[in-house]
Chain A
Amino acid sequence: AQKVTQAQTEISVVEKEDVTLDCVYETRDTTYYLFWYKQPPSGELVFLIRRNSFDEQNEISGRYSWNFQKSTSSFNFTITASQVVDSAVYFCALRMNRDDKIIFGKGTRLHILP
């Protein structure tokens, strides 16, 4: 069975601090895809990044970086020098190649305090 666990329900940090959001997934498949989405207070879901199971390269995009480790089944997301605008709920998701469905973790609510 496939599963995504985001153990951190809620995190609060002071602006300019770095913060890491954890994501652990479970799957028996060898081909799968991982995603991160952001849901700001306005409610829409914004795509941030995708990664396939064969690409373990870390990625950096501005203040955002992602660390994918198959050995620990983790796909963690780090925000460097956080800003108030980063306050949102962040979701990690897993997609299986065999049936296409996308399942989400329960999300982490991030508060960036000024």
Chain B
Amino acid sequence: NAGVTQTPKFQVLKTGQSMTLQCAQDMNHEYMSWYRQDPGMGLRLIHYSVGAGITDQGEVPNGYNVSRSTTEDFPLRLLSAAPSQTSVYFCASSYRSGNTEAFFGQGTRLTVV
């Protein structure tokens, strides 16, 4: 079992470039989500999904798009990267039953210059 796999682990972008952070899980989890972690700010929820075809905004959705075409994958798209999006991004997944913990990927460290 691979768990939650995020790619890439590191990325440097120029302002205005676009890219997609990939997230895949093999645990058949309905719930998937993206967080960004910045110093002193904790983990802030960007977008989340409770199943294929269903997505919703979290606390800081601006500048990010998501889609959920399959249960396994939940990519995060930056359409026009900005320096303010420099952060560490974590993908997480879990069963929809609330009394289950979320499993996290290893994180993607993104720098926008």
A52 at the B interface (CB under 8 A): yes
Extra contacts, 12 of them, besides A6-B42, A52-B98, A52-B99 (Cβ < 8 A), are A44-B104, A91-B43, A96-B98, A99-B50, A100-B31, A100-B98, A101-B33, A101-B48, A101-B58, A104-B44, A106-B41, A107-B42
Interface string of A67-98 (1 = CB under 8 A from B): 00000000000000000000000010101110
A to B contact number (C-beta, < 8 Å): 62
Instruction: Mark contacts of A19-43 with chain B using CB atoms, 8 A cut-off: 1 yes-contact digit, 0 otherwise.
Output: 0000000000001110100000001
> Judging by beta carbons under 8 Å apart, are B99 and A33 in contact?
yes
Residues of B in contact (CB 8 Å), total 28
Which label, helix, strand, loop or mixed, suits the secondary structure of the B interface?
strand
Q: A3 vs B104: C-alpha distance in the bound complex, in angstroms?
A: 21
Total contacting residues, chain A, CB less than 8 A: 26
